[in-house]
């Protein structure tokens, strides 16, 4: 009987450790996703500010696609 209790105890500790790892990974993922969003917003701002200097349809399309992706993230 002692072995069953020990096994249950070990399993419980493993489950707790797995939950902590999952939580940590989710937090790290959230931080990275937010950083990417900020950087994409910066790219959009630069493209918007320089659109008169380059007059590139490709850059305009790129900016619009990035804006669409960012908008979809919000909704």
Amino acid 15: pLDDT: 93
H or E stretch at 51:
helix 51-54
Amino acid 2: pLDDT: 65
Number of domains within the chain: 1
Amino acid 75: pLDDT: 64
| Mean per-residue pLDDT, 3-31 | 90
Range of the domain at 15: 2-74
Q: pLDDT tens, 19-75? A: 999 999 999 999 998 998 899 999 999 888 888 887 788 888 888 999 998 888 776
State yes or no: pLDDT of 1 exceeds 60.
no
State yes or no: pLDDT of 9 exceeds 70.
yes
CA 43 to CA 8: how far, in whole Å?
52
CA 66 to CA 23: how far, in whole Å?
29
């Amino acid at each position: 009987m002692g072995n069953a209790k020990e096994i249950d105890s070990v399993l419980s500790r493993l489950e707790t450790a797995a939950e902590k790892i999952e939580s940590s990974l989710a937090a790290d993922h959230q931080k990275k996703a937010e950083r990417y969003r900020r950087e994409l917003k910066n790219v959009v701002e630069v493209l918007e500010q320089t659109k008169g200097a380059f007059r590139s349809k490709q850059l305009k399309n790129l900016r619009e696609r990035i804006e669409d992706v960012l908008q979809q993230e919000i909704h």
